């Protein structure tokens, strides 16, 4: 019954050629959907307006109803707090005159007479449909000022109680709801209920494209939805495949044999470089260069086609020109190769013609159960088995995996890690992502034993739901660090509704990753530094940081960086402070940061003394050691303390600066021993803050799953 009446309202509007509902229709719909609205009556004349006001009871509000006017107050179409019949009468003429002068072409359908809600905190709740993630709910503060303040949060439907509460906590001015400066403590339970309702409505009614409840006036008990706006759309139901299928990727990323299709003798050609890198990386499976004329390359016999190779082939790396790729793919299918990595460009990357070609090869591959990475990609590298089908060759094996749409970034991360004495488990450049994409790889790497941290760079994803699912599963086991490139403008819905205009792709994306337990970082530096922290350190048990420094200034910069990063400085107990006083010389400054001052150069052992004492303090969840001078033997000095910290599950980061030549030597030693060293306090704090975020995410995932 509810659905029939609700759909009737929606279809009535659509049949009149309107893609929006009038306020009174919106309100009728809201109450059908179980959201309490305010008393209001539609009046078509002065007499009806006067009568309606009397029936509702003073004070009242008058609002214009016109298909040409969506933002009523901009047109002078809202008058509030009319206290008696006289004010209603003059208000009636005033509102009509306002509208006539501001929007002369407006057809006035009537006046909505509404009960007056007492003033209180104004919030907005809304919903829109994101092209990648589907129904998305928004919450914000500020009522009509929301676009100026832009303090909003997003949640991807379906929401549950935990997620809705998170959305409320996430906004910056969240404190306004806590009851400060004469404002009441807002009834957040009721706000949660509204957000949950919106989530339900967006799932149940695909015809609703975007909706704003703006403002909702919130009291200490209850709330009032003062204005509602529904924008209608085509109503297509988009069903997406929820479970990413991580099939057959093992063979693609860890093959036992490989054919390089388009291998070359020419040193300058990619077809040579890839073959050489696979050989140099020590790949010990079968390597088959495919080239009709060469005879032999790098001492390996060549074949004219994969079909001529007598042995089984797991993977083909394709470097031939785009036009030849379809026939090569057919041969690969015939040879029962499991997957191909298409390096060649000239597909979707060059426009429509190329896109057609890409679609064609995908069809052949799908039929033949052949998986594709690329085309237009920089290949795959798995240094552990020497399968380095990419360039440049980076050999250092470690536990960080890289998935990147961009080839340079796919290889830059391993190269940065190498410089920091760390390695990678797999680097996968995705290029056009015609088949294998981020979601599937994240699912695969979640179960990959060699991978402890997953880093992703992506410019856009085809199916947001699938990605969320993959991240949620993986995050329970290991951190997924996500860098999204390519900011785009807010949706085209901008003009019609606040929620649409505020739902920029980036904000919704970040909300979606966060909701799934992933970590969104802001730039490549953060991605690299966070990866280093995650792979070397235990996850902290809280957000309280202790700093031990020789440099007062760096200690201050570190402390300053904490606030922005949601970390706080540990409050050491009296007992710990006493112990520090007893064991450190009088020139040390005993507080947090513990400042050993430059004098520590005379006795570097003090670093370890201080560290071991603070580790016993209950308030210390993580430690930053700042070597702010040319401190010699840094590693040897603090090794014992750091081992103790790690065994207690307390992460310790080192920040080495101001140490010139000594710094270079000591940094390398520390890093070689698995201790992360950052060159500025800020970098170290940001890396720690992401670890803290991951801790929170794990708790959140637990709550969501229990909810």
Binding site residues, Mg ion, CB under 5 A: 214, 227
* Closest CB to Mg ion among residues 258, 497: 497
Query: Considering the complex, what minimum distance in angstroms separates the CB of residue 7 from Mg ion?
Result: 25
Residues 37-56, mask of contacts with ligand ADP (x by CB under 6 A)? -x------------------
Residues 190-229, mask of contacts with ligand ADP (x by CB under 6 A)? -------------------------x----------xx--
Which option in Mg ion, ligand ADP, none does residue 61 bind, with CB closer than 5 to 8 A by kind? ligand ADP
* Closest CB to Mg ion among residues 214, 420: 214
> Applying CB under 6 A, which of residues 111, 117, 315, 402 lies at the interface with ligand ADP?
117
Query: Considering the complex, what minimum distance in angstroms separates the CB of residue 500 from ligand ADP?
Result: 14
> Applying CB under 6 A, which of residues 37, 114, 399, 608 lies at the interface with ligand ADP?
114
* Closest CB to Mg ion among residues 227, 621: 227
> Applying CB under 6 A, which of residues 52, 78, 99, 287 lies at the interface with ligand ADP?
78
Query: Considering the complex, what minimum distance in angstroms separates the CB of residue 43 from ligand ADP?
Result: 15
* Closest CB to Mg ion among residues 214, 515: 214
The two beta strands, 78-82 and 60-65, are antiparallel
The two beta strands, 379-382 and 424-429, are antiparallel
Per DSSP, the residues of 202-218 read HHH-TTEEEEEEEEEEE
109 touches 13 (CB < 8 A): no
Which option in Mg ion, ligand ADP, none does residue 407 bind, with CB closer than 5 to 8 A by kind? none
* Closest CB to ligand ADP among residues 95, 261: 95
Which option in ligand ADP, Mg ion, none does residue 298 bind, with CB closer than 5 to 8 A by kind? none
Residue nearest to Mg ion as judged by C-beta position: 227
* Closest CB to ligand ADP among residues 78, 614: 78
Can you say whether the dihedral through the CA atoms of 618, 624, 629, 634 is positive or negative? positive
Residue at token pair 């085509």: 234
Give the Cα separation of 312 and 653 in Å (integer).
48
For residue 687, the Cα-to-chain-centroid distance in whole angstroms is 16
Which option in ligand ADP, Mg ion, none does residue 94 bind, with CB closer than 5 to 8 A by kind? none
539 Cβ contact partners less than 8 Å away, ≥ 6 residues apart: 649, 651, 691, 694, 695, 698
Q: For residue 495, give Cα distances in angstroms to 100, 133, 202, 356, 491.
A: 22, 21, 20, 35, 9
Query: Considering the complex, what minimum distance in angstroms separates the CB of residue 493 from ligand ADP?
Result: 16
By CB under 6 A, tell whether 120 contacts ligand ADP.
no
Which option in ligand ADP, Mg ion, none does residue 143 bind, with CB closer than 5 to 8 A by kind? ligand ADP
Helix or strand (DSSP H, E) at 572: none
285 touches 256 (CB < 8 A): yes
> Applying CB under 6 A, which of residues 53, 56, 61, 377 lies at the interface with ligand ADP?
61
By CB under 6 A, tell whether 71 contacts ligand ADP.
yes
* Closest CB to Mg ion among residues 214, 434: 214
Both structure tokens of 707: 């909810």
Query: Considering the complex, what minimum distance in angstroms separates the CB of residue 59 from ligand ADP?
Result: 9
* Closest CB to ligand ADP among residues 221, 312: 221
* Closest CB to ligand ADP among residues 3, 81: 81
Query: Considering the complex, what minimum distance in angstroms separates the CB of residue 154 from ligand ADP?
Result: 21
Both structure tokens of 272: 């040579």
First to last CA, the chain: 29
Q: How many residues does the chain have?
A: 707
Query: Considering the complex, what minimum distance in angstroms separates the CB of residue 176 from ligand ADP?
Result: 15
442 touches 469 (CB < 8 A): no
Give the Cα separation of 62 and 43 in Å (integer).
10
* Closest CB to ligand ADP among residues 216, 474: 216
* 286 strand-pairing partners: 257
244 touches 466 (CB < 8 A): yes
* Closest CB to ligand ADP among residues 226, 279: 226
> Applying CB under 6 A, which of residues 73, 188, 418, 597 lies at the interface with ligand ADP?
73
Ramachandran assignment for 379, one of left (phi > 0), alpha (psi -120 to 50 degrees), beta (any other)? left
Residues that bind ligand ADP (rule: CB under 6 A) add up to a total of 16
591 touches 574 (CB < 8 A): no
Both structure tokens of 365: 């591959």
The two beta strands, 594-595 and 544-549, are parallel
The stretch near ligand ADP (CB under 6 A) out of 70-78, 294-302, 519-527, 674-682 is 70-78
Listed residue (264, 323, 269, 319) closest to 297, CA to CA:
264
* Closest CB to ligand ADP among residues 78, 152: 78
By CB under 6 A, tell whether 144 contacts ligand ADP.
yes
Give the Cα separation of 179 and 121 in Å (integer).
10
The stretch near ligand ADP (CB under 6 A) out of 7-15, 72-80, 239-247, 375-383 is 72-80
The stretch near ligand ADP (CB under 6 A) out of 68-76, 89-97, 479-487, 660-668 is 68-76
The stretch near ligand ADP (CB under 6 A) out of 101-109, 111-119, 256-264, 499-507 is 111-119
Q: What angle is formed at CA 338 by the lines to CA 323 and CA 393, rounded to 5 degrees?
A: 75
Phi, psi (5° rounding) for residue 352? -60, -45
* Closest CB to Mg ion among residues 43, 61: 61
* Closest CB to Mg ion among residues 214, 302: 214
Which option in Mg ion, ligand ADP, none does residue 473 bind, with CB closer than 5 to 8 A by kind? none
* 484 strand-pairing partners: 458
Residue at token pair 């202790």: 546
Which option in Mg ion, ligand ADP, none does residue 273 bind, with CB closer than 5 to 8 A by kind? none
Give the Cα separation of 395 and 403 in Å (integer).
17
Which option in Mg ion, ligand ADP, none does residue 114 bind, with CB closer than 5 to 8 A by kind? ligand ADP
Which option in ligand ADP, Mg ion, none does residue 66 bind, with CB closer than 5 to 8 A by kind? none
Which option in ligand ADP, Mg ion, none does residue 72 bind, with CB closer than 5 to 8 A by kind? ligand ADP
The beta-strand segments (E) located in 50-160 are 60-65, 78-82, 110-115, 121-130, 134-141, 152-156
Both structure tokens of 622: 């993580």
* Closest CB to Mg ion among residues 36, 488: 36
Can you say whether the dihedral through the CA atoms of 517, 523, 527, 529 is positive or negative? negative
Q: String of b and e for 323-344 (b: at least 16 CB within 10 Å)?
A: eebeebbbbbbebebbbbbbbb
Which option in Mg ion, ligand ADP, none does residue 73 bind, with CB closer than 5 to 8 A by kind? ligand ADP
By CB under 6 A, tell whether 300 contacts ligand ADP.
no
443 touches 244 (CB < 8 A): yes
Give the Cα separation of 452 and 506 in Å (integer).
27
596 touches 549 (CB < 8 A): yes
Query: Considering the complex, what minimum distance in angstroms separates the CB of residue 213 from Mg ion?
Result: 9
* 128 strand-pairing partners: 136
> Applying CB under 6 A, which of residues 30, 49, 63, 411 lies at the interface with ligand ADP?
63
The stretch near ligand ADP (CB under 6 A) out of 110-118, 309-317, 500-508, 602-610 is 110-118
* Closest CB to Mg ion among residues 214, 667: 214
- Residues within window 240-259 making contact with ligand ADP, judged by CB under 6 A: none
664 Cβ contact partners less than 8 Å away, ≥ 6 residues apart: none
Both structure tokens of 679: 């060159």
The two beta strands, 152-156 and 134-141, are antiparallel
Query: Considering the complex, what minimum distance in angstroms separates the CB of residue 98 from ligand ADP?
Result: 12
Where does this chain bind ligand ADP (CB under 6 A)? 38, 61, 63, 71-73, 78, 80, 114, 116-117, 143-144, 215, 226-227
């Amino acid at each position: 019954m509810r659905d029939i009446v609700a759909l009737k309202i929606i279809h009535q509007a659509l049949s009149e050629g309107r893609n929006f509902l009038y306020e009174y229709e919106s309100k009728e719909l809201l109450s059908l959907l179980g959201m309490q609205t305010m008393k209001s009556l539609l009046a078509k004349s002065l007499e009806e307006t006067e009568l309606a006001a009397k029936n509702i009871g003073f004070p009242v509000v008058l609002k214009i109803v016109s298909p040409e006017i969506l933002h009523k107050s901009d047109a002078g179409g809202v008058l509030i707090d009319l206290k008696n019949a006289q004010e209603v009468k003059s208000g009636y003429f005033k509102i009509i005159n306002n509208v006539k002068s501001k929007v002369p072409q407006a057809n006035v359908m009537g006046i909505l007479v509404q009960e007056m809600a007492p003033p209180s905190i104004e919030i907005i709740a809304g919903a829109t449909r994101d092209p990648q993630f589907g129904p998305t709910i928004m919450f914000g503060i500020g009522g009509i000022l929301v676009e100026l303040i832009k303090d909003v949060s997003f949640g991807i439907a379906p929401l549950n109680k935990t997620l809705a509460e998170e959305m409320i906590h996430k906004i910056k001015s969240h404190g306004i709801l806590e009851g400060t400066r004469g404002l009441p403590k807002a009834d957040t339970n009721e706000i949660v209920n509204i957000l949950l309702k919106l989530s339900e409505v967006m799932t149940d009614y695909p015809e609703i494209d975007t909706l704003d409840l703006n403002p909702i006036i919130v009291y200490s008990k209850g709330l009032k939805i003062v204005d509602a706006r529904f924008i209608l759309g085509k109503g297509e139901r988009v069903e997406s495949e929820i479970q990413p299928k991580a099939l057959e990727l093992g063979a693609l990323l860890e093959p036992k044999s490989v054919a390089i299709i388009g291998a070359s003798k020419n040193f300058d050609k990619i077809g040579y470089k890839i073959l050489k890198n696979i050989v140099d990386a020590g790949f010990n499976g079968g390597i088959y260069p495919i080239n009709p004329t060469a005879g032999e390359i790098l001492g390996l016999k060549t074949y004219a086609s994969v079909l001529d190779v007598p042995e089984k082939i797991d993977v083909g790396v394709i470097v031939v020109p785009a036009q030849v790729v379809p026939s090569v793919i057919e041969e690969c299918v015939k040879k029962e190769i499991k997957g191909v990595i298409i390096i060649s460009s000239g597909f979707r990357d060059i426009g429509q013609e190329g896109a057609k070609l890409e679609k064609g090869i995908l069809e052949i591959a799908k039929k033949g159960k052949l998986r594709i990475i690329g085309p237009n990609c920089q290949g795959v590298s798995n240094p552990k088995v020497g399968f380095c089908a990419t360039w440049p060759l980076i050999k250092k094996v470690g536990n960080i995996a890289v998935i990147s749409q961009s080839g340079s970034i796919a290889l830059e991360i391993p190269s940065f890690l190498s410089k920091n004495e760390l390695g990678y488990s797999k680097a996968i450049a995705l290029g056009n992502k015609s088949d294998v994409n981020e979601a599937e790889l994240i699912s695969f790497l979640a179960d990959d034993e060699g991978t402890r941290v997953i880093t992703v760079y992506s410019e856009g994803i085809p199916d947001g739901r699938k990605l969320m699912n993959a991240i949620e599963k993986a995050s329970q086991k290991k951190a997924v660090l996500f860098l999204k490139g390519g900011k785009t403008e807010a949706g085209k819905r901008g003009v019609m509704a606040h929620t649409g205009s505020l739902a920029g792709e980036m904000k919704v994306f970040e909300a979606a990753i966060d909701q799934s337990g992933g970590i969104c970082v802001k730039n490549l530096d953060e991605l690299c530094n966070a990866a280093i922290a995650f792979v070397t350190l235990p996850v902290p048990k809280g957000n309280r940081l202790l700093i031990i420094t020789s440099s007062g200034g760096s200690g201050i910069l570190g402390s300053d960086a904490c606030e922005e990063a949601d970390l706080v400085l540990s409050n050491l107990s009296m007992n710990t402070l006493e112990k520090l006083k007893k064991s450190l010389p009088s020139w040390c400054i005993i507080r947090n940061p513990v400042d050993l001052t430059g004098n520590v150069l005379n006795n570097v052992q003090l670093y370890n003394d201080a560290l071991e004492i603070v580790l016993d303090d209950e308030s210390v969840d993580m430690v930053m050691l700042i070597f702010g001078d040319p401190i010699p033997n840094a590693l040897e000095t603090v090794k014992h303390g750091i081992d103790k910290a790690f065994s207690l599950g307390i992460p310790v980061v080192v920040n080495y600066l101001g140490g010139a030549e000594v710094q270079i030597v000591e940094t390398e030693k520390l890093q070689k021993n698995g201790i992360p060293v950052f060159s500025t306090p800020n970098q170290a704090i940001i890396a720690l803050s992401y670890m803290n975020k991951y801790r929170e995410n794990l708790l959140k995932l637990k709550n969501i799953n229990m909810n």
